[in-house]
A and B are shown apart, each in its own frame.
Chain A
Amino acid sequence: MKKLLFAAAGVLALSLPAQDAAARPTIEELQKRAVLDDYEANVLFGYNIVMDSNRYAPRYAGNALRCSSCHLDGGTRPDGFPLFVAGVYPKWRAKNGVRNSLEMRIRDCFLYSLSGVMPPEEAPEVLAVSAYISYLSYGKSIGTPPQGWGVPTLPETGADPDPARGQAVFRRACTLCHGADGAGTAVAPPLWGFQSFNAGSGMNVVPRLAGFIWANMPMGAERSLTHQEALDVAAFLHIQHRPFDPREGRLRKLAEEIYHGLSRLFGARAPAAPTGR
């Protein structure tokens, strides 16, 4: 009896590494399964949110974008803001000046890029996306950024980004999918306006946006633009109208405006600008 138990334990011990080495199930396999454990169900929920944020996370999503609008191919494409980055979190970020857990980082995306309501860190939607990210990170390096992280940083071109030239490039290369007014079409997301990312999001930083455009746009003819063209288009997008940066308290802004208006009106009372002396 005892022998049998040992034998069973042995078989179990042998089978464990074998199971470990087996490839993780693909999303398609998970979708076909009748029974999922909690982690797998969560991964699938996360995948659904990434592919269709408005349908699966309606409570917190705020615009017409979805996670996969920027995290291309459901976050699997290198140089297209891939999501297989669980290995580098928690990490310090300059954006909010604190150490960010993966969940904290995800809720930023809801607030800025999806221009919605910031979910709490333990919201089911956040935990699901977090599970999906760690699922994608299977086999990637831990502690160092994986290959193809973020977007490429473009080299110095020697010329400033020019929105006017960018507009020309936009008309030539982008309008087919994104529409002449940048409001998006059935195949591509809106680039500005109230249905796009807000002024506080990472996409609103010109060098990063330029890197994304150069590496991934136009779809089907990636890396066909020059570095300078990508920078110009990015600058053109940057100056468009989009939702405000939610980090600024609107009421405080309003109070500041009123204060400045009043101090301009009563010029004598306003503190004098420092002079060179």
Chain B
Amino acid sequence: MSLLREAVPDLRWRRSVDVRREVAAGLVGALLVIPQAITFAYVAGVAPEYGLYCAVFVGFLASLLGNSPMVGGPNTAVSILIGLTVLPFAGRGSPLYTELVLALSLMVGFIQLLMWLGRAAALFRYFSPAAIIGIKAGVGVWLIASALEGATGMGPMTVKFLYEKFYIVLAGWQELVNPYATLVSGVTVAAGLLLRRRWRRSYVVLAVLIGSIVGGLVYGWLGPVDSDLELLGHVTLDALPFRIPTLGPPHWLFLELAIAPAIAIAILGLAQSLVIARDLKSTVAPHLDLHKEVFAQAMANALGPFFSSFAGSGSFNRTAIALEMGARTPLSGMVAALAVVLIAWLLGPVLTYLPMPVVAGVMVLVGIGMIQPRELRPMLNRIDGPVLLVTLFAVIFLGLESGILVAVTASVIFFVASASQVRLAISHQGEAEHIRVTGNLFYASIDRLAKHLHANPAAVTSLDLSRVPFRDATAMQLIERIQRERVRCGGKLEVVEEG
């Protein structure tokens, strides 16, 4: 019954909605998502229109089915993982490749639906924020590295480690680097970084504008042959790009091989969405239902491929901007999705001439935006710090998929390590010893107490366990064993639970 309630759109937000604010936030969101959608489509290896479809349909469905102002749509980490997963199976951007991307997204959606049935929202609580920030920063590094080819006008490189790319470019820049492309991407990045201080919301759009003007001047002066600037090309948008995802034998074979990455994508998408949703729940939307949000994301991804969209998730930066603009309900997300169609259709002829180095510049800007010193600094403590660093290095050097596994493992290990901290307050009243234990007593944390109690079997001790919220069988068995030992040796161990 509660599942059903989570599955049907909840439109109660209608009653208390500030339509003007929501629409304004939606329109700004639509303007901002267009460069990102094109960029992430490039990252995922499909034609630009698929990124726009993702912004429209995944964004709309996630907002319609959800109950928060969270903005969904194309997502950096998810797009990178999709690209990395499908690339070995088909030529980048070919029709088969696109079909495989949609099939993979369908599978991701269904895995997320299973996670919804398995009440994943509760589980993701244990995914530490440090790990998420580590993954985010790692994805930022990946994004900057993947922008390198486009920014310098080179063909795609296949390397084992990220840093090899920088080495290749530095070593062979005279033959490899197209100076005009580098100029255009450099101007885009520089403009973005300079404007970011003044216009925190719209600096990407302004950077795209400036980069495109410079690119247009170079292209207009030298022509396509001499400048060798790559352009975006015609973006052919359908109003309703309905299609049934092709699932022939090659697609099934691929899906069988791609289960592990699909699970990784599903986890990564939901983890990011839930971090945003938990944040919203604690600030602007106290009645937010996390399970419903999981369902919305899952269903959007499962239905998206029927509208030519690849998988997405909640977006940190676009949600933040929507909140800043005063969005409080899912209406802003829906307006943003619909406005994308309109703006992209109006911009269509101009978009054709968008230089690809500008897109690469946007990738660098988004990547830099994901490595936030403001977010990293509070994490420099004994528990979050190691998790963050381990995750970051794993993502950079082992890749995203393994990075997620490492992040989960590190979260759990460091959580257990922090949970097994036990404080013993020992006081003496004449002969008798009084020990007050603070913390959880379980197999991992029992050692110090056991050592202390074993040290003097003849002592008389009262053990105060009132501040031990959790004790496992191992701990209780151990205490009973010591009690018996004390009785044998003439001592005493008394367990007290003072209020």
A120 near B: Cβ within 8 Å?
yes
B156 contacts A122, C-beta separation under 8 Å: yes
B234 contacts A58, C-beta separation under 8 Å: yes
Asked, given contacts A35-B250, A42-B94, A128-B94, whether A59 binds B47 with beta carbons under 8 Å apart, the answer is yes
Min CB–CB distance A109 → chain B (angstroms): 13
Annotate B347-379 by CB proximity to A: 1 below 8 A, 0 otherwise. Answer: 000001000100000000000000000000000
Q: Which of B210-251 contact A (CB under 8 A)?
A: 217, 219-227, 230-236, 248-250
In Å, the complex CA distance between A38 and B232 comes to 25
Min CB–CB distance A200 → chain B (angstroms): 9
In Å, the complex CA distance between A179 and B235 comes to 30
Complex: chain B residue closest to A103, CB-CB: B155
A252 contacts B221, C-beta separation under 8 Å: yes
A45 contacts B94, C-beta separation under 8 Å: yes
In Å, the complex CA distance between A96 and B250 comes to 41
A122 contacts B234, C-beta separation under 8 Å: no
Residues on the A chain within 8 Å of B250, using CB: 35-36
A60 contacts B234, C-beta separation under 8 Å: yes
Binds B, one of A7-15, A187-195, A241-249: A241-249
Annotate A248-260 by CB proximity to B: 1 below 8 A, 0 otherwise. Answer: 1111100100000
Interface residues on chain A, size class: 20 to 34
Complex: chain B residue closest to A118, CB-CB: B224
Complex: chain B residue closest to A127, CB-CB: B91
B91 contacts A124, C-beta separation under 8 Å: yes
Residues on the B chain within 8 Å of A250, using CB: 220, 223
Residues on the A chain within 8 Å of B95, using CB: 41, 45
Which residue from B90, B155, B235, B352 sits with its C-beta under 8 Å from A38?
Answer: B90
A123 near B: Cβ within 8 Å?
yes
Complex: chain B residue closest to A108, CB-CB: B225
Residues on the A chain within 8 Å of B491, using CB: none
Asked, given contacts A59-B234, A59-B236, whether A111 binds B224 with beta carbons under 8 Å apart, the answer is yes
A41 contacts B47, C-beta separation under 8 Å: no
B93 near A: Cβ within 8 Å?
yes
B436 near A: Cβ within 8 Å?
no
Residues on the A chain within 8 Å of B94, using CB: 41-42, 45, 124, 127-128
B21 near A: Cβ within 8 Å?
no
Residues on the B chain within 8 Å of A120, using CB: 155, 230, 356
Q: Which of A25-84 contact B (CB under 8 A)?
A: 34-36, 38, 41-42, 45, 58-62
Most chain A CB atoms below 10 A, which of B48, B96, B233:
B233
Complex: chain B residue closest to A44, CB-CB: B95
Which residue from A38, A60, A251 sits with its C-beta under 8 Å from B220?
Answer: A251
A207 near B: Cβ within 8 Å?
no
A162 near B: Cβ within 8 Å?
no
In Å, the complex CA distance between A231 and B138 comes to 64
Residues on the B chain within 8 Å of A122, using CB: 92, 155-156
Which residue from B91, B93, B225 sits with its C-beta under 8 Å from A96?
Answer: B225
Complex: chain B residue closest to A124, CB-CB: B93
B40 near A: Cβ within 8 Å?
no
B203 near A: Cβ within 8 Å?
no
A252 contacts B248, C-beta separation under 8 Å: no
In Å, the complex CA distance between A247 and B48 comes to 26
B110 near A: Cβ within 8 Å?
no
Min CB–CB distance B157 → chain A (angstroms): 11
B233 contacts A59, C-beta separation under 8 Å: yes
In Å, the complex CA distance between A250 and B222 comes to 8
Complex: chain B residue closest to A120, CB-CB: B230
Annotate A199-224 by CB proximity to B: 1 below 8 A, 0 otherwise. Answer: 00000000000000000000000000
Residues on the B chain within 8 Å of A62, using CB: 234
In Å, the complex CA distance between A58 and B93 comes to 13
Min CB–CB distance B52 → chain A (angstroms): 13
Complex: chain A residue closest to B236, CB-CB: A58
Q: Which 7 A-B pairs have the closest CB atoms?
A: A251-B220, A124-B93, A59-B233, A249-B223, A58-B236, A117-B233, A124-B94
Question: Mind listing 25 A-B residue pairs with CB under 8 Å?
Answer: A35-B248, A35-B250, A38-B90, A41-B90, A59-B233, A59-B236, A111-B225, A117-B232, A118-B224, A119-B230, A122-B156, A124-B91, A128-B91, A246-B223, A246-B225, A247-B225, A248-B223, A249-B220, A249-B221, A249-B222, A250-B220, A250-B223, A251-B221, A252-B221, A255-B221
Contacts A118-B224, A252-B222 aside, 5 further interface pairs with beta carbons under 8 A come to A34-B249, A111-B224, A111-B225, A127-B94, A249-B219
